[in-house]
Structure formats: structure tokens, C-alpha cells
Structure 1
Amino acid sequence: MLDHLVYTVPDLSRAIASFTAAGLPPTPGGRHPERGTHNALLRLGLRSYLELLAVDPDTDIPPPRWMGIDLAGGISVISRWAVHAGAVQYSGEALQSGSRRLADGQLLRWRLSDPGTHPAVDVVPFVIDWSASGTHPADRLPDLGLALESLTLEHPDPAAVNDRLLRMGLPQKAIRGAAPRIGAVLRGPQGKLNL
């Protein structure tokens, strides 16, 4: 059901260097010109990945930008998570179209529910559909042996979040926390990585 985790970072090149030093070199993704961001990806398994997302230094798109990226206060944080459109009950607003150009020139296309510019962290996932491209980004990524071991959702009002998750047909449950937070434990060849 998990499509991907959005890990917003202050500087993409530094984040890539940090993951690479840990034996997990991310694959450059591309730019989102309409959104003012760029990314790099790490495969988490079949049709699942971790997205490192940062403000594109060459953008002229002003804040606020999507995924709460301007609200993280200069720290790296999982700000969003996405689920496969066909795996959930979704009756929200119409899905928006999105795209980015890959390094080989191919245009990757998708449709998604609006992940919003606020809040900084949204523990209720957005929905994404890759059928417009006929391929999933994880299919193009090297398998480095990285997998999601656990996902933790925290929120001051877990009952309201859990009601929304249940209506989407998702098994995840939020627990009480002082502020919205998405935590993940990844398992790789060199051990566990806590995000």
C-alpha cells in the first residue's frame, strides 16, 4: 500500500552525500519546475521508495511550496507519505496531474491528491496513481537492500486521524504525540536507519 515516503531535506546534495556515505547512494530523480523542488530516490522494495526532496536552488517559485517543505525549520523530516491509489478507498477531490523529466529525457507522469503546502507534517497520506506513465519510479531504481521496517504516526488528536485512515481502508494507526510526526525505521545491509 505504501507508495513512498517524502523526506524533506534542507540541501539535496548534502543529503545525497550523507546517504551515500552510509552505503545507500540515492538515484537522482529530477526537477518539479511547477513546484520549485528537486529530488533523489532510494528503492524500499517493490513499487515503494524513499524520496529525498529539497527546494530547487534554481527555482523562482516562492513559498509556500508543496509537501510542507518551507516549514521544516532547516531540518530533515518525513513530511508526507503516499499510498497507491488502487489500494485505498479514496473519495476526496479529483486527482491532480504532475510530471517530471528524467535524466534520460523520458517524462514521468502521475496523478495525485493534493499533498498541500501546510502543515509541516501531515500524517494522513496523499494518494498517487502512476498509471499515466505505465511505470513506477521504484522499477527504475537499483535494489540496495533497503526496506521499510516500521512506520510510526503521531498526532495530538489520534482518534480523528485514525478515523480518516480507517475510512481509507488503511491498517496504520496514529498514536498520541505532542505534534504531528511521521517516523520510519529503514533496514539495510549496514543495519537500521531511523528517520
Structure 2
Amino acid sequence: MLDHLVYVVPDLDSAIDRFTAAGYPPAPGGRHSDRGTYNALLRLGPRSYLELLAVDPETTVAPPRWMGIDLVEGPAITRWAVHAGAVNFPGALYGGSRQLADGRTLRWRLSDPGVRPAVDVVPFVIEWNGSDFHPAERLPDHGLRLQTLQLEHPRPAAVNTSLERMGLPQKAIRGAAPKIGAVLRGPQGTLHL
């Protein structure tokens, strides 16, 4: 059901170095040229991954940019995505793409993850029917897996109603501000995001 976690970082190279030092080297992703971001990816399973997302230093796209990237200070999970076919989602899906490191273009359709809020605990949905593969299928498997996903929100009942409508089992708990936390576990140790 989980497609990916969006982990916004202030500097992609520094984040790659931190994950690599922990024993989990991210793979180069690509550029979202129309969004002003670029990324690196870590496989979390056959069809799920962690996306390290940063402002592309070569972009001419002005803020505010998607995924709350201009609204958070420091690293934070700002969004999470679920497979469109695994949930109840009656809304519209929009086309997107990014250029891969090898020059090919990866295409998808997704619900709008938005510019605001900084952190959105209700997931967006994505389908990869515009591509002949899921990004996780081409990533090295370092054995890293999502152990827990924690959702916090000042109004958890409203969030939980949205999650239930989508057919998702996750539940938000009360927190001072919207927050997405994750514990990832693998052979090199545990990561708390």
C-alpha cells in the first residue's frame, strides 16, 4: 500500500553522505525540472522507497515549491504516497515526470501533494502506469524496511476520517503540529526519521 515517503532535506549531497555513512547508500534519482527539485532514493521493499528530496541548485522555479519543501527547516518527512489502486480515491490524478540519471523519463499520475501545508499527514496517491517499471524495482536492495509510520496532528479525528475513507489502516495521534515519523530497520541498524 505504501508507495513512498518524501523526506525533504536542505542539501541532497549531505543527506546522501549521512545515509551512506549509516550503511544505506541512496541511488541517484533525477530532476523534477518543472517543480524545481531533485532526489535520491532508497528501496524499502519491492514497490516502496524513501525519497530524499531537495531544492535543485540549478532550478529557476521560484518558491513556493511542492511537498512543503520551502516551508520546513531541517530534514523532515513532509508527505507520504500510497498506490492508487490500493485505496479509495475518487479525485483527479495529474501527470508528472522526472528525468532519470540515464536520460530516460519516468512518468506517473498522482493526486496533488501540494505546496502547503509544510507537512501533510493524509497521503497523496500515485500510479506508475505511464512507465514500464516502479522506481523501487531498479534500486539496490540494502535490506532497509519501514518498521513503523507515525502520524501526528492537532486534530487527529479529522485526519482519521480521511484515512478511513481511503481504506487505510493507519491512525493519527494527537500532536502539537502535523508530523510524520518513521522508523526504518535494516541489517546496518535502525534509522529514525
Normalised TM-score (structure 1): 0.98
Task: Give the Å deviation of 1:185.
Answer: 0.2
SS of the aligned residue for 1:121 comes to coil
Distance 1:80 1:187 in 2: 20
2:85 is the alignment partner of 1:86: yes
Partner of 1:149: 147
Q: Distance in 1 between matches of 2:189 and 2:137?
A: 24
Q: Aligned pair 1:27/2:27, yes or no?
A: yes
| Distance apart, 1:134 and its partner CA | 2.0
User: Is 2:161 the partner of 1:163?
Assistant: yes
For 2:49, the aligned partner's letter is: Y
1:13 aligns with 2:7: no
CA RMSD in angstroms, aligned pairs only: 0.6
Cα distance between partner residues in 2 of 1:161 and 1:106: 37
Partner of 1:124: 122
The CA distance in 1 between the partners of 2:101 and 2:35, in whole Å, is 18
Separation in 1 of the partners of 2:14 and 2:162?
A: 36
Q: Give 1:135 shift.
A: 0.7
- Unmatched runs of 5 consecutive residues or more in structure 2: none
Is residue 61 of structure 2 the alignment partner of residue 56 of structure 1? no
What residue ranges of structure 1 are gaps of 5+ in the alignment?
none
The two structures have a TM-score, normalised by structure 2, of 0.99
* Percent identity of equivalent pairs: 75
Q: Which residue of 1 aligns with 2:43?
A: 43
State the one-letter code of the partner of 1:21. A
Distance 2:49 2:159 in 1: 23
- Aligned residue number for residue 179 of structure 2: 181
Residues 38-91 of structure 1: CA deviation (Å, up to 9, x unaligned) = 000000011000000000011010100000000012x00000000000000001
Q: Once the 2 structures are TM-superposed, how far is the Cα of residue 103 of structure 1 from its aligned partner?
A: 1.6
Q: Indicate conservation of the 8 Å contact 2:24/2:188, yes or no.
A: no
**Offset at 1:112?**
0.3
Paired with 1:103 and 1:23, the residues of 2 have a C-alpha distance of 22
Alpha-carbon distance in structure 2 between the residues aligned to 1:166 and 1:46: 25
Deviation track 1:76-129 (CA, whole Å, cap 9, x = no partner) reads 00000000000000012x111011111222210000000000011000000000
Q: Which runs of 4+ in 1 moved over 2 A?
A: none
